Structures are given as C-alpha cells and as structure tokens.
Chains A and B, each alone.
Chain A
C-alpha cells in the first residue's frame, strides 16, 4: 500500500506571497490532518478534514486554510506569507471512522514539505 505523499517537498517563497501544499492520503483513508512543525514550537495542529468537511481546527490565523477533495486528497494554502511561517508542514492520514480506541484512528505521516520564507 502506498504511503502518504506530499508535494512539493521543498519550497522557497518571499514574504507576502501565497503557497499551496498538496497531500495524498493512504488509499481508503478519509481523514487528513495538517501540522506545522518548528524547532521552537514542536508539532502544532492546523486542521483536519474528513469527507471534504473540516472537522477540527487549531489556533492558527485565517491566512491558513485548507480543503479536501472527493478523492480525499487535501490541499492547504497559506496567504500573505510571513517569515515565521518557515517550517516543516506535515500531513497525516487515518481511516478516522470509528469512535473509541481503535487502530482506525492511527495517523500516518507523509514526508512533509519544508517551506522557507525569505
């Protein structure tokens, strides 16, 4: 089974620009979560999509947005980039369909997109 893929792997942008990152989940997975990871803040949750609907949201400004398509692929967009947006952006997929403790809630991460804002 193919794993989670993310494109592009590396990106360099300048302040004020916008960027779109893409994530393709494991086949059959319907939940995609996005995280920002920086050395100082660790892994921070951005949002989660399930069946094309945003199900959970972290504490990030509105410049960060996302969407999910009917094939479960997801994109996240960051508008008006700031220097502080430089980070590793990770997406993770899970089946995400059962309540309670279950392996269906296990999340598997893609390789990440390293964004540098100059």
Chain B
C-alpha cells in the first residue's frame, strides 16, 4: 500500500463546474496536509494547507480533511482552463519528518 494514494486521472471537468480531487494516506499520525499544483514542465506550487478536520476555503479552492477516514480532498469551484494541471497531495507527520507526496492527479478542464 502506498503511503499517499491519488487517482492518476486524467480527470476531465467542464469549464465552470466543480472539480473534486481525492487523496488517502496510510499514516494515522500525519498532522499536515498539502495540495500542490504543477503545470507541465514547471515545479510544484503550494496552493492549500490544512491541519485540522473540516473544511478550509481560499478563493475558489476548498480543502477538506477527515483524519478518522484518513482522507483529504481538494475542491475547485468554477473551474477554469488555467486549472488544467497535475495536483499533488502531500502529507507530513510534523517537524523533522519528511513530506510524502502522492503520484498526482491530472486534471483537464474542457471548454
């Protein structure tokens, strides 16, 4: 079992719809959860961090965390073609522990 699992996609979503990206993790003591966006040929860019159960909203992005189910998700509202990228889920136990990345989900927003 991989430590951080994501569906590789591609996930195709029409422009203006909600894109839902999911991630599960295996380490129950994980405490920090991150979503990165990576455009082709570029480096990952941090877009959301979440540390406690529930929802965290930032503009069109909402991160959701459920530690009991070991599940974290990212919702993108009003999807735009510029949201087409690979989204990486990352999990960390806390300071002095390495961050574990999932393999990423490719998202494609179709006009």
- Chain A residues in contact with chain B, CB under 8 A? 33, 35, 42-43, 45, 48, 50, 55-56, 58, 88, 90, 96-112
A108–B45 alpha-carbon span in the complex (Å): 7
B43 and A101 form a contact (CB under 8 A): no
Residue of A nearest to B96 (CB): A55
Return chain A residues, CB-CB under 8 Å to B90.
Answer: 107
Q: Is the interface of A mostly helix, strand, loop or mixed?
A: mixed
Residues of chain A within 8 A of B94, CB atoms compared: 98-102, 105
CB atoms of B49 and A45 under 8 A apart: no
**10 residue pairs A–B, Cβ–Cβ below 8 Å:** A33-B99, A42-B101, A42-B103, A45-B100, A50-B96, A56-B98, A101-B33, A104-B95, A105-B92, A111-B42
Hey, which chain B residues are within 8 Å of A111, CB to CB?
42-43
Q: Known pairs A100-B94, A105-B92, A105-B94. 10 more at Cβ < 8 A?
A: A42-B101, A48-B98, A56-B96, A99-B94, A106-B34, A106-B49, A107-B34, A109-B36, A109-B46, A112-B43
State the Cβ distance, B53 to closest chain A Cβ, in Å: 11
Q: A101 contacts B31, CB within 8 Å?
A: yes
Note all chain B residues with C-beta closer than 8 A to A112: 43
Taken together as a complex, chains A and B put the C-alpha atoms of A2 and B96 apart, in Å, by 24
Whether A107 pairs with B46 at a CB distance below 8 angstroms is yes
Q: Are A43 and B88 interface neighbours, CB within 8 A?
A: yes
